[in-house]
């Protein structure tokens, strides 16, 4: 497999959330997401569906009544943080959790300079950055990336 020399342009994975209900019950973890902030936001999502609370009545009826769990998703470097959140809910907060793992195909984009850059490799990075994007060619590579999904089941007492 040949190594591509060029600038790697990061794109987020296809994390398209289909419906409004799914958007409100899914939490996406990034490697830069602070653990405690994520924990508080997920607890806030779970509290919306708590029968005991008087606020957020719309989350207790209609299509929201069919929601059984909140999803926590993480890919790549965020897998460890996602699993830590799942363990926190399972062991300390006494929620039932399920763990699903898998892999998804992602596409990496690399900007590779034209022939003039390959001929004159002594150029500095500053000069390369000054080139227009039109002068650079995009190279796309597919690869597989791991993901984990934690399902935290809602307590409906």
Q: Which fold has domain 19-153?
A: Translation Initiation Factor IF3 (3.30.110)
Report in angstroms the alpha-carbon separations of 80 from 3, 29, 31, 110, 144.
Answer: 28, 10, 9, 27, 18
For the chain, give every domain's residue range.
19-153
Distances (CA, A) of 21 to 69, 107, 136: 11, 28, 42
pLDDT tens sequence across 130-149: 545 556 788 888 888 899 99
Q: What is the distance of C-alpha 71 from the center of its chain?
A: 12
Segment 43-90, tens digit of pLDDT? 999 888 876 666 666 666 677 778 899 999 999 999 999 999 999 999
Rounded CA separation 138/140 (Å) = 7
């Amino acid at each position: 497999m040949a190594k591509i020399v060029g600038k790697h342009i990061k794109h987020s994975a296809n994390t398209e959330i289909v419906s409004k209900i799914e958007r409100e019950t899914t939490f996406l973890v990034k490697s830069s997401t602070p653990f405690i902030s994520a924990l508080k936001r997920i607890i806030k999502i779970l509290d919306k569906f708590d029968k005991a609370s008087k606020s957020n009545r719309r989350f207790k009826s209609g299509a929201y009544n069919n929601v059984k769990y909140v999803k926590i998703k993480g890919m790549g470097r965020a897998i460890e943080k996602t699993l830590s959140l799942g363990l926190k809910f399972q062991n300390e907060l006494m929620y039932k959790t399920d763990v699903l793992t898998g892999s998804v195909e992602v596409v990496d984009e690399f900007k590779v300079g034209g022939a003039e850059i390959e001929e004159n490799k002594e150029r500095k990075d500053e000069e390369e950055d000054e080139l227009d994007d039109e002068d650079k060619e995009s190279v796309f590579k597919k690869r597989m990336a791991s993901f984990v999904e934690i399902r935290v089941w809602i307590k409906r007492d």
